[in-house]
A and B are shown apart, each in its own frame.
Chain A
Amino acid sequence: KNEVEQSPQNLTAQEGEFITINCSYSVGISALHWLQQHPGGGIVSLFMLSSGKKKHGRLIATINIQEKHSSLHITASHPRDSAVYICAVNMRFGAGTRLTVKP
């Protein structure tokens, strides 16, 4: 079993839909990180969190330390949100969730 598990692996949505990507981990945590990798390959840091909830624009990240689970939400999704979203815990990475948002 991987230390960091993401679900789903692939996700297709229509523009405007609410998106949820999940991350479960089995290791002790100092911080959890959500990353976004666009088709061009560049990686961008979205959030770093160790408790509670963070919001930036249409993106919301939550974490439940007791349940060892984090979610990344995208409200009012847009085709430009199409990317691979990667969860990282203590420098260990999930396999990523490939999101495709169709117009």
Chain B
Amino acid sequence: DAGVIQSPRHEVTEMGQEVTLRCKPISGHDYLFWYRQTMMRGLELLIYFNNNVPIDDSGMPEDRFSAKMPNASFSTLKIQPSEPRDSAVYFCASSSSNTGGYGYTFGSGTRLTVV
């Protein structure tokens, strides 16, 4: 298995533009998580899905952020409009309910810079 695949690896965009981050979880994993990491706040859970259904989105900072999981093999995190304070590394992770949902495998992350 290729692991959790995120794209793009790096994204530089201008303030006000729409940004879409993509994630392909490990096949067979039924949990998918989106995290954000910044120097100031460390790792933060934004939202997680179980069987493609959003379970907890309390970490989504604002209405500018939205996440979807149309099927078991794909998820997107969208920021519209983007702001400089959204600059961070965004990680996607997946896990299996066979490990209680907590045996994470992380993607390599997307480094977002909003200028």
Contacts and interface: CB of A to CB of B under 8 A. Distances in A.
Specify the main secondary structure of chain B where it touches its partner: strand
B77 interface: no
A67 B105 CA distance: 28
Interface residues of B, number: 20
B95 to A, nearest CB: 9
B91 interface: yes
Contacts, number: 47
A45 B104 contact: yes
B48 interface: yes
Instruction: Pick the most buried of B42, B45, B106: most chain A CB atoms within 10 A of its CB.
Output: B42
Interface string A14-25: 000000000000
A44 B106 contact: yes
Interface in B79-115: 89, 91, 93, 99-100, 102-106, 108-109, 111
A19 to B, nearest CB: 21
B109 A41 contact: yes
Nearest to B35: A93
Nearest to B45: A91
B56 to A, nearest CB: 8
Contacts of B56: 91
B103 A45 contact: yes
A13 interface: no
Given A33-B104, A35-B104, A42-B109, A48 B42 contact: no
A91 B100 CA distance: 12
A92 B56 CA distance: 13
A35 B106 CA distance: 10
A91 B42 contact: no
Nearest to B56: A91
Interface of B: 33, 42-45, 48, 56, 89, 91, 93, 99-100, 102-106, 108-109, 111
Interface of A: 30-31, 33, 35, 41-45, 48, 50, 86, 88, 91-96
